Amino acid sequence: MPNPWRWSAARARQTLQRTLRERLGALGYLEVETPLLVPAPGMEPHITAFEVPFVPETEVGRPRTLYLHTSPEYGMKRLLAEGSGPLFQICKVFRNGEVSAHHNPEFTLLELYRPQADYRAVMADLEEVLSAAADALGAPELFGRRPYQRVTVRDALLQATGIDLRSIRGAAELAAAAAAKAGVTASADDGFDDIFFRVFLKAVEPHLGLERPCYLVDYPASMAALSRLKPEDPSVAERFELYARGMELANGFSELTDAAEQRRRLEEERAWRIAQGRPAYPLDEKFLEAVGRMPPSGGVAVGLDRVLMLLLGAQRIDDVLLFPAREFV
């Protein structure tokens, strides 16, 4: 039976989601639903999807493996390509193996997209809705100080460690040497991205957003994911993450609308997964076809359980869930 703290968290969750819906509606966003069960999940290198066997019991379909979605992104971008206008979704997403103080394998995500916009416009919308949610829950000091701080990845890393990404230029050997000077053990065989994240998680992330929320912007191009590169500086991607009190809350982009480039990136990530012995998922051809028809857009995914943790002062994600996975894994 849930304890009184969890009942308070459940009421706060209701207020949070209601306020987000109201504010996004006022900003012109349409709420949509996309399938939880999909033929192809995301291809992010370090995310593992839950596999679900489909066993037909009628004349329709064939036996195959489906997946619980790790994000509603593919479906929502197909809707953008059909002319949906601004849209959002609050839904459960699933990522296998993720159980920790800040992770649950089933968690709640707010995902939104605005066409004819870039990551700056999305950051502004996100500030507005989070500020309204904090006011509704009596914690305006957390998300109410606007505008949120904005700092580039390069500047954050340089300030915390003295490592200058421009001098490393994506070279794993140089990154490993710089990491050693920062007290992080790494080998050039680990690759530039993995070395970067080891240093980042140790020296940078814990210090982000301590006084007010902070947008970390302009990631190295190798970490572009589904974002476009910055036209005036293609060494970085128009990607941002939102941090508050040292916790990552959101990941957003100016969205990539080049279908050929999107295919290349997914195939590259798929090859990496195969090389690492991780599950390699099929490409979502309907999503890839839609990417080329998408309008210029900005989007973001926000972990609402973590937002709720901060608003309530909780130390563990379990404290804001009625049935945390830790009870049965």
The 10s digit of each residue's pLDDT in 20-63 is: 999 999 999 999 999 999 999 989 888 999 999 999 999 899 99
Tell me the average pLDDT across 77-103.
Answer: 97
pLDDT band at 222 (very low <50, low <70, confident <90, very high): confident
Is 301 within 8 Å of 111 (Cβ atoms)? yes
**Crossing angle between the packed helical segments 119-136 and 4-26, to the nearest 10 degrees:** 130
201, pLDDT greater than 90: no
Instruction: Name the DSSP class of 316.
Output: S
182, pLDDT greater than 80: no
Dihedrals phi, psi of 310, to nearest 5 degrees: -65, -40
CA dihedral 273, 200, 165, 300 (to 10 degrees): 70
Cα distances from 169 to residues 105, 175, 239, 261, in angstroms, run 35, 9, 18, 21
Tell me the average pLDDT across 139-164.
Answer: 90
Sheet holding 51-54, edge to edge: 37-38, 64-68, 51-54
Tell me the average pLDDT across 175-186.
Answer: 78
163, pLDDT greater than 90: no
User: 138 CB contacts (<8 Å, ≥6 apart)?
Assistant: none
Tell me the average pLDDT across 232-260.
Answer: 96
In this structure, are strands 64-68 and 37-38 parallel, antiparallel, or unpaired?
antiparallel
Token readout for 215 is: 């947008």
In this structure, are strands 87-94 and 51-54 parallel, antiparallel, or unpaired?
unpaired
How do the domains of the chain map onto residue ranges? 4-148+212-327
In this prediction, residue 329 carries a pLDDT of 87
In this prediction, residue 177 carries a pLDDT of 79
pLDDT band at 168 (very low <50, low <70, confident <90, very high): confident
In this prediction, residue 3 carries a pLDDT of 66
208, pLDDT greater than 70: yes
pLDDT band at 203 (very low <50, low <70, confident <90, very high): confident
Tell me the average pLDDT across 234-249.
Answer: 96
Is 96 within 8 Å of 50 (Cβ atoms)? yes
In this prediction, residue 196 carries a pLDDT of 82
Burial of 61 (0-12, 13-18, 19+ CB in 10 A): exposed
283, pLDDT greater than 70: yes
Token readout for 50 is: 């839950």
pLDDT band at 200 (very low <50, low <70, confident <90, very high): confident
Triad 224, 227, 229: Cα angle to 5° = 70
pLDDT band at 184 (very low <50, low <70, confident <90, very high): confident
317, pLDDT greater than 70: yes
144, pLDDT greater than 90: no
CATH no. of 4-148+212-327: 3.30.930.10
Q: Which of 35-49, 129-143, 172-186, 222-236 has the lowest mean pLDDT?
A: 172-186
- Quote the CA–CA distance of 254 and 224 in Å, as a whole number: 10
pTM score, whole prediction? 0.93
In this structure, are strands 247-254 and 233-244 parallel, antiparallel, or unpaired?
antiparallel
Compute the mean pLDDT over every residue in the chain, rounded to the nearest whole number.
92
- Quote the CA–CA distance of 304 and 133 in Å, as a whole number: 11
173, pLDDT greater than 90: no
Instruction: Name the DSSP class of 199.
Output: H
In this prediction, residue 164 carries a pLDDT of 83
Percent of the chain with pLDDT over 90: 76
pLDDT band at 117 (very low <50, low <70, confident <90, very high): very high
pLDDT band at 225 (very low <50, low <70, confident <90, very high): confident
In this prediction, residue 274 carries a pLDDT of 94
